[in-house]
Amino acid sequence: MLETTALACERGGMRLFSDLGVALQAGGLLRVRGNNGSGKTTLLRTLAGLTRPAAGSVRWRGEPIGDDFRREMLFLGHAAAVKDEMTVSENLEFSSRISCLDVAESKIRDALECLGIVRLADLPARYLSQGQRKRAALARLALSASVPLWLLDEPFSALDDEAIARVSALCAAHLAAGGMVVLTSHQDIPIAAADARAIEMRG
Amino acid sequence: MLETTALACERGGMRLFSDLGVALQAGGLLRVRGNNGSGKTTLLRTLAGLTRPAAGSVRWRGEPIGDDFRREMLFLGHAAAVKDEMTVSENLEFSSRISCLDVAESKIRDALECLGIVRLADLPARYLSQGQRKRAALARLALSASVPLWLLDEPFSALDDEAIARVSALCAAHLAAGGMVVLTSHQDIPIAAADARAIEMRG
Amino acid sequence: MLQAYAFIVRRELRLALRRKGDVLNVLVFFIVVASLFPLGVGPEPGQLRAMAAGVVWIAALLAAVLSLPRLFAADHADGTLEQMLVSPQPLLVIVLSKASAHWLLTGLPLALTAPLIGLQYDLPTDALGVLLASLLIGTPVLSLLGSAGAALTLGVHGGGALLGLLVLPLFVPVLVFGAGAVTSTLIGINPSAHLSLLGAFLAVSSLIGPWAACAALRVALD
Amino acid sequence: MLQAYAFIVRRELRLALRRKGDVLNVLVFFIVVASLFPLGVGPEPGQLRAMAAGVVWIAALLAAVLSLPRLFAADHADGTLEQMLVSPQPLLVIVLSKASAHWLLTGLPLALTAPLIGLQYDLPTDALGVLLASLLIGTPVLSLLGSAGAALTLGVHGGGALLGLLVLPLFVPVLVFGAGAVTSTLIGINPSAHLSLLGAFLAVSSLIGPWAACAALRVALD
Amino acid sequence: MASRLLQFATPQAFFPLAGKLVPWFSVLAGALALAGLYVAFLVAPTDHQQGESYRIIFIHVPAAWMSMFLYVVMAGWAGLGLALNTRLSGMMSSAIAPTGAMFTFVALWSGALWGRPTWGAYWVWDARLTSELVLLFLYLGFIALKSAIPDPVRADRAGAILALVGVVNVPIIYFSVQWWNTLHQGASVSLTRAPSMAAAMLLGMLLMALAAWMYSIATALSRVRSIILERERDAEWVRMQRSAA
Ligand code: HEM
Ligand SMILES: Nc1ncnc2c1ncn2[C@@H]1O[C@H](COP(=O)(O)OP(=O)(O)OP(=O)(O)O)[C@@H](O)[C@H]1O
Ligand SMILES: Nc1ncnc2c1ncn2[C@@H]1O[C@H](COP(=O)(O)OP(=O)(O)OP(=O)(O)O)[C@@H](O)[C@H]1O
Ligand SMILES: [Mg+2]
Ligand SMILES: [Mg+2]
């Protein structure tokens, strides 16, 4: 469904990678590995359509990625996209709304429950700790079962062991239901997947 | 040398911890463990004198912490304190200067070498990846052997395995030379230390 | 799409309410600037009346320029803007709703306060009405073109001053026609020519502004 | 300590050079604002000459207010300010060096450009000299009191407008005496009374400003 | 033909071509300017209404024309770069901007000097003068924006958007004398009044305008050469060039 052909990316005039071809089918998990600065974030942003590739293209269901693709994709980057002034549940509501997801009150609470932060639902995000903030951002995963493709940039950083288990369980469930996950991570978190692959950036 | 007596911290009217007494002697390593939001960052900021405790006090060489303490302490928080517009080496030079450390050209390069980013010395920090930025911030450790107390908040997050090894080696060397290290981390990184202890926040 | 427009506007308004006083600040800034003038220039009533419209308009321009850097910056810094770009919502809708919210939070309050300041400067009633009308037509231009400027300077350090440099010249026609409408009323000329020019300018900028803002946002987040 | 002062100032200047045009932007903003006035107010030379000093001073005030939010905000956001607070350097030295750098980068260039704008407004030569003098004495006040304002509004959303609201009233005396000095020269009165009042104000604010900024910074980072 | 042209659209190919063209255009500019000044000051007769001061026209009008024309060209290059993602386009627009700003400044300055004897004031806030001033600010804003963004690709694209927005101002400058009754008079007035003078005046103006054209091309080309060197400093061919020199 998602495939890249001869993808190349440049930053500041330097090739980060080139001639990258990956293809991901329903139920597939792709781990992007590599040292600091090897281009993992750049690759994910290119897949999401945020960064223009220097060469090659990204295709979704055979078409170049465009407006339709954005309906079927969820991208969570380094930045948590959590607004300090809004409460945790308001934040989740807005980010789901903007992705055209269902935002019934009860679903929101279930999603927060799922990440173990339902206790903080009405706390303004300003007061969250680093890890709680990350959890608040990841709570969207629990609402996005219907979104086929998940692109997650270091979802496990700043999380404690309990949260890591919760998030990897969410990913595993998504894969089992025929979803696709692309993730970068420096930690080796086990995720149950029928079709798991890894690519190593720059050797 | 560093000790707290009946330390308590509040955030938003909620006690995070209370009656905390820790004491650290030369060569001692203290790991602060705990779930997301359990108060690790708050504890470290209190030890550094940035946050005022709700009760109790922090003492250094028997005195309440004050101006002298700041000469003997290095605090690295969540924020990398790396300026986008300056090159990596300029950043390191400034942060060392302000801590009254020696900043000979060669020492700077050695420190960058030690973190494996000497190649990036003249790149504006704007272009660094997440992990490279963290390395740039941590390079100060390599210059701070003479500073007895290191307070490190999640030094290993965003780092790849190679960088983690480098940083933990630095910590081990510091401890062996009679320094003290307090660190928080969700990952269990082995650090060689004669006197290693851990405290678990909120049970 | 209309739904998306509505809920983004609602969110912006709610955020503004949370950041208590945000709206109030721009307003008070406007009033302070307008009140500084007589201090700097000297208090002769005739002279003051002649410059009233210009002063109010300049104060409005500056208040707008001061409030513009925030239009996208906060959303950019915390990653919300990135999320908006990868969301299924058309970027144009997002830009339009942010510009609308900006107008509701700055332009509209400014326009509604302006007659009070006009009173201070001893403007006659018909001139007050024209002042209000000119601001109601002109301030949306500030939000529309301003959003383009804000998007262009996103992530640029020292963006505030650069933004001022970029958009203030574009606001000049608004200032000239807006203040001109009031001044012509003062000397007994029908202001409708000026006002309709303002309207034309609004039409042009509602085409150009959001387009430029969309393009600039994509560039800023590349 | 002197050494720390010097290297922080040097660093600020270097950073400003890197953010190419930062200095230039404030300057051009200043010029644009000063050129906007005749647009809004009307072009009679006599009237313009009378308001020249006020306009230049108001433009300087606004340029300063626009540049102030950046004084600590960038260092706050990336953690540098935190590092400065835990460093062995006295906070007062840090604040003083940042305020000095701010003056070197905005106040001084503004003061040096002001006579050119005065020329545009057709001011006589002696008034130009007084304008320059008043700005050289007055602009450090903007940086000193401004640093306190910037520290107080640190981390407050919508800080830009709030900052303006906080410091502009404090700047009013500077505006009145600064513009007053020039205007009195125009009508043949010796401006030294005004200038020495400005000097006194500078002395007071150099005591109060940095102290308040230090206290506010500690609060902002608690 | 098109492919032959496209061949020069890469910085590497354009660099030597530009290098060859610069001296030619510089010489042409100098020669035309000399001829124009000769006609302007020695051939064209004194105006019986304005006296000698009217001769500012030979500077003022070519500068005003170039200021508008160069803006359109600059925006055109910028737009091309935005649409087709060609590297050279952004460099060209950067190279043109300072010359355009310079001509705008000259038009403003000469107009102001001219205004003093004819209108009795250096400056009035009428539509043409104001929109010309806005043009100067647009040029400056373009230059400032580009230099504020360190990444050249991003700077090119952001600058292009601004340049395109600003294009609206050019017709406003041009037609402002027709749309509003302004103080600024058109040339046609003096042309119809003294047709015998017009020939020499027209010739002088045309020569000066052509000189301005040549000058603009020469400066833009030589500036684009240094921009190419700066931006492609890491490219193989630039390093070879440098080691050869
Ligand atoms: C700062 C003041 C001035 C500015 C910004 C200015 C601007 C311009 C511009 C943009 C043009 C070219 C437009 C066109 O070709 O239609 C132009 C042309 C011209 N200007 Fe000015 N001008 C100024 C002052 C003056 C003054 C004081 C005079 C004479 C009294 C003057 C006489 C002319 C003439 C005769 C033309 C040629 C118009 C034509 O070719 O149709 N300008 N000016
Ligand atoms: N203008 C530039 N000049 C030189 N190098 C650049 C420039 N911009 C970006 N880079 C480099 O591009 C790379 C960006 O990599 P990216 O952020 O994708 O890394 P990553 O694999 O996500 O790393 P991390 O594990 O640290 O998050 C970095 O090596 C960075 O140094
Ligand atoms: N105003 C407030 N109201 C309620 N709770 C607050 C407020 N401010 C902070 N908190 C809570 O205080 C705690 C701060 O913890 P701290 O940042 O020290 O956690 P941490 O142990 O570093 O967590 P992490 O592992 O996520 O970094 C969080 O649980 C946060 O929710
Ligand atoms: Mg990354
Ligand atoms: Mg923490």
**DSSP string computed for chain E:** -HHHHHHTTSHHHHHHHHHHHHHHHHHHHHHHHHHHHHIIIIISPPBTTTBGGGGGHHHHHHHHHHHHHHHHHHHHHHHHHHHH--HHHHHHHHHHHHHHHHHHHHHHHHHHHHHHHHHSSS----HHHHHHHHHHHHHHHHHHHHHH--SHHHHHHHHHHHHHHHTTHHHHHHHHHHHS--SPPPTHHHHHH-HHHHHHHHHHHHHHHHHHHHHHHHHHHHHHHHHHHHHTTTSHHHHHHHHH-
pLDDT at residue D159 in the model: 58
pLDDT at residue E181 in the model: 62
Answer whether residue D131 shows pLDDT above 90.
yes
**B157-180: pLDDT as tens digits:** 989 999 999 999 999 999 999 999
Taking an 8 Å cut-off on Cβ atoms, the answer to whether B159 and A12 are in contact is no
Name the superfamily (CATH) of residues A1-72+148-203: P-loop containing nucleotide triphosphate hydrolases (3.40.50.300)
Answer whether residue C20 shows pLDDT above 70.
no
Of C30, C64, C65, C33, residue with least CA distance to C161: C65
The answer for residues whose C-beta is within 8 angstroms of residue A196's C-beta and 6 or more apart is A28, A29, A31
Answer whether residue B118 shows pLDDT above 90.
yes
Confidence of residue E23 (pLDDT cuts 50, 70, 90): very high
pLDDT at residue D20 in the model: 59
**Which is higher by pLDDT, A7 or E4?**
A7
pLDDT at residue B202 in the model: 77
Confidence of residue E14 (pLDDT cuts 50, 70, 90): confident
Q: Which residue of B has its CA nearest to A11?
A: B127
pLDDT at residue D31 in the model: 82
Of D200, D42, E118, residue with least CA distance to C179: D42
Cβ–ligand 3 contact at B185 (below 6 Å): no
Kindly give the distance from the C-alpha atom of residue B37 to the centroid of ligand 5, in angstroms, as a whole number: 7
Chain B residue numbers with beta carbons less than 8 Å from the beta carbon of A135 are 36
Rounded average pLDDT over B71-81: 90
pLDDT at residue C73 in the model: 85
What percent of chain D is modeled with pLDDT above 70? 92
**Which is higher by pLDDT, B38 or E187?**
B38
pLDDT at residue A160 in the model: 92
DSSP string, chain A: -EEEEEEEEEETTEEEEEEE--EE-TTEEEEEE--TTSSHHHHHHHHTTSS--SEEEEEETTEEP-HHHHHTEEEE-SS----TTSBHHHHHHHHHHHTT----HHHHHHHHHHHT-GGGTTSBGGG--HHHHHHHHHHHHHH-TT-SEEEEESTTTT--HHHHHHHHHHHHHHHHTT-EEEEE-SS------SEEEEEETT-
- Which residue in this structure is represented by tokens 């209370």? B18
Kindly give the distance from the C-alpha atom of residue A40 to the centroid of ligand 4, in angstroms, as a whole number: 6
Say which range, B135-144, C78-87, C199-208, E123-132, has the weakest mean pLDDT: E123-132
User: Which H or E run contains C160?
Assistant: helix C159-186
Answer whether residue A71 shows pLDDT above 70.
yes
d(CA E6, CA E24): 23
Rounded average pLDDT over E124-148: 86
Q: Where are the domains of chain E?
A: 59-184+199-230
Cβ–ligand 3 contact at B38 (below 6 Å): yes
pLDDT at residue E189 in the model: 39
Residues 72-131, chain E, touching D (beta carbon < 8 A): 121, 123-125, 130
Answer whether residue A85 shows pLDDT above 70.
yes
pLDDT at residue C120 in the model: 86
d(CA E223, CA E77): 15
Say which range, B56-60, C195-199, E53-57, E87-91, has the weakest mean pLDDT: E53-57
Q: For chain C, report the end-to-end CA distance as a whole number of angstroms.
A: 25
E94 to B175, E18, E22: CA distances (angstroms):
56, 15, 17
**Which is higher by pLDDT, E28 or D31?**
E28
What percent of chain D is modeled with pLDDT above 90? 38
pLDDT at residue E5 in the model: 54
B90 to B103, B105, B108, D167, D212: CA distances (angstroms):
10, 10, 9, 34, 30
Answer whether residue E194 shows pLDDT above 70.
no
Answer whether residue C174 shows pLDDT above 80.
yes
Ligand 3: nearest atom to the Cα of B39: 18
Confidence of residue D21 (pLDDT cuts 50, 70, 90): low
Q: Where are the domains of chain A?
A: 1-72+148-203, 82-144
Show the tokens assigned to C134.
């000119």
d(CA E73, CA C44): 49
Answer whether residue D155 shows pLDDT above 90.
no
Rounded average pLDDT over D138-153: 92
Ligand 2: nearest atom to the Cα of A154: 27
Q: Which residue of D has its CA nearest to C171?
A: D36
pLDDT at residue E191 in the model: 45
pLDDT at residue C159 in the model: 65
Please give the sequence-ordered ranges of beta strands (E in DSSP) within C50-115, or none if there are none: none
pLDDT at residue E196 in the model: 46
Chain A residue numbers with beta carbons less than 8 Å from the beta carbon of C79 are 77-81
Answer whether residue E195 shows pLDDT above 50.
no
Rounded average pLDDT over C194-211: 92
Rounded average pLDDT over C101-118: 93
**E221-238: pLDDT as tens digits:** 999 999 888 887 777 777
pLDDT at residue E124 in the model: 72
Burial A39-65 (b: 16+ CB within 10 A, else e): bbbbbbbbbbbbbebbebebbbeeeeb
Say which range, B139-148, C150-159, E90-99, has the weakest mean pLDDT: C150-159
Residue count (chain C): 222
Q: Average pLDDT over chain E, rounded to whole?
A: 83
In eight-state DSSP terms, residue D191 is T
Ligand 3: nearest atom to the Cα of A134: 26
Rounded average pLDDT over B25-35: 92
Answer whether residue E129 shows pLDDT above 80.
yes
**E204-220: pLDDT as tens digits:** 888 999 999 999 999 99
SS3 B49: coil
Taking an 8 Å cut-off on Cβ atoms, the answer to whether E130 and D39 are in contact is yes
d(CA C79, CA A82): 8
Domains: count for chain D: 1
Chain C residue numbers with beta carbons less than 8 Å from the beta carbon of D165 are 25, 28-29, 32
Rounded average pLDDT over D164-171: 82
Pairing of the two strands A55-60 and A63-64: antiparallel
pLDDT at residue E245 in the model: 61
Rounded average pLDDT over A51-75: 91
What percent of chain C is modeled with pLDDT above 90? 41
Burial B9-42 (b: 16+ CB within 10 A, else e): bbeeeeebbeebebebeebbbbbbebbbbbbbbb
Determine the structural domain holding residue D70 and report its residue range.
Answer: 2-220
Rounded average pLDDT over B112-130: 91
The answer for residues whose C-beta is within 8 angstroms of residue C24's C-beta and 6 or more apart is none
Of A169, A193, A163, residue with least CA distance to A30: A193
Answer whether residue C201 shows pLDDT above 50.
yes
Q: Of the bound ligands, which one is closest to the alpha carbon of residue A16?
A: 2
**C31-68: pLDDT as tens digits:** 877 887 777 666 677 777 877 888 889 888 888 887 88
**Which is higher by pLDDT, D133 or C176?**
D133
Q: Which of D25, D30, D119 to mutate to test the interface with E (most CBs of E within 10 A)?
A: D25
Alpha-helical runs (H) found in chain B:
40-47, 67-71, 88-98, 105-115, 130-143, 161-176
Answer whether residue A150 shows pLDDT above 70.
yes
Taking an 8 Å cut-off on Cβ atoms, the answer to whether D90 and B67 are in contact is yes
